[in-house]
Amino acid sequence: MRAHRTLVSWAFYDFANTIFSAVVLTTYFPLYLTEITGTNWSLGAATTGSMVLAALAIPVLGALSDQTGKTKNYLIRTTVLAVAFLFCFVLTKNPILLTILFLIACFFFHASLVFYNTLLPVAAPPEHQGFASGLGTGLGYLGVVVALPLMHIVDGSLGRVWVFPASGILFLLFALPLFLFVPERDVEHPIKFRRQLWGEEWRKLRGTIRGLATEPKLLLFLGGNFFVVDAMNSLIFWVSVYTREVFNPGQSDIISFLLILNASAFAMGLLNGVLTDRIRAFPTMILSSATLALMLVGLTFITDFWLFRLVAVTAGAFAISGIWTAGRKVLLELAPANSVGEYFGLYGLTTKISVVASLLFSVTADVSGFQSALWILVFPAAVGCAFLIASAMVPLK
């Protein structure tokens, strides 16, 4: 019974953090900032900056959790700080200040995800980690279904800026089960944090990165994950603006579409969790990545809103939930038990620096339109899928 409570409590953090991702990153901040500035490039620059800042620190943060055994402690701190900066959004409408607050909030949000993923071995034994990851992915998207209608009410009654602190409250509320019921990660010979440890882990990380040439399976996986997530992050981040600009539906229609999409992703997350445990993580991730690439090609020709929604809630939900679900399990299969945090830091690095396509997409959208800009995302999705296939073919040491 306690094991089930631990698994579900861990998975509910996905429910919590996806509220931040969907409400702040995907839906309301893109709409809020583009309405204030009247341009798309500023939004692309803001999201790129937040990812780059996170990428510089995340690998070392993961390695520090391996050394100190304070993974859950760090998770709590970064979560609280991300929420605190969301509350600061109500203080200004200055685009520069808003962008700075967005960068800081996103930095702590992205850092929290590394610590969360590193706790997956605590949440479930190896034979059930695919299901645990899939349940987390599914609950994450279910969190969007719960949060978006509530935020729509807040937007209509209090104003759009109050959506950000309200989403922070929900984020913190649904993170409490993990804070209360998931034990701290067990690390052999933990050491106390000191300032010198930061520099030591940076030097160790540089050695690990240089040594990737001798680990072709890991290197190809990280490269494939970089390209696939580059396409996926861009698609997720721009979906609400893309829908508005290409099909021109009302705000309620956009919210309705996103609710259906995330409800479908909940079911697809559970499906991909089962597939990850039964047919293994690599085949599931490759299938999801190939689906993403083919879907992006198809969307470039779709001009009917009904057909666009149908493709998104089927192929899109399957692809996105599968990449997250299987990717975490693949990483655990490749990581030594005493370096899970460091490896998840490298995994987080590939997801956070996967921002090139988002910036190129925004520039292309300003120049030639959003539908043409989709071709910018097809290339990284296809290249990433090819890398993952090559990685799966390399024998595991």
Which residues touch 168 (CB under 8 Å, ≥6 apart)? Answer: 20, 82, 83, 84, 86, 87
Q: Which segments of the chain have a pLDDT < 50?
A: none
What's the pLDDT at 238? 84
- Of the candidates 168, 131, 165, 180, the residue with the CA atom closest to the CA atom of residue 17: 168
Please check whether residue 187 lies inside any domain of the structure: no
What's the pLDDT at 130? 92
pTM listed for this prediction: 0.84
What's the pLDDT at 318? 96
CB-CB contact of 164 with 89 (8 Å): yes
What does each C-alpha distance from 354 to 149, 201, 228, 244, 316 come to in angstroms? 30, 23, 8, 24, 19
Domain count, the chain: 1
Please check whether residue 189 lies inside any domain of the structure: no
Q: pLDDT by residue (tens digit) across 318-361?
A: 999 999 999 999 998 988 877 788 788 878 777 766 667 777 88
What's the pLDDT at 256? 85
CB-CB contact of 295 with 311 (8 Å): yes
What's the pLDDT at 353? 63
What's the pLDDT at 27? 78
Please check whether residue 26 lies inside any domain of the structure: yes
Burial class (CB in 10 A: 0-12, 13-18, 19+), 121: middle
φ, ψ dihedrals at 335, nearest 5°: -90, 135
Please check whether residue 185 lies inside any domain of the structure: no
Please check whether residue 336 lies inside any domain of the structure: yes
Can you give the residue range of the structural domain that contains 226?
A: 2-179+194-393
Residue 191, by phi and psi: left (phi above 0), alpha (psi -120 to 50) or beta? beta
Q: Distance between CA 161 and CA 379 in Å, rounded?
A: 36
CB-CB contact of 41 with 363 (8 Å): yes
What's the pLDDT at 346? 79
Q: What's the CATH code of the domain at 157? A: 1.20.1250.20
What's the pLDDT at 32? 83
What's the pLDDT at 190? 66
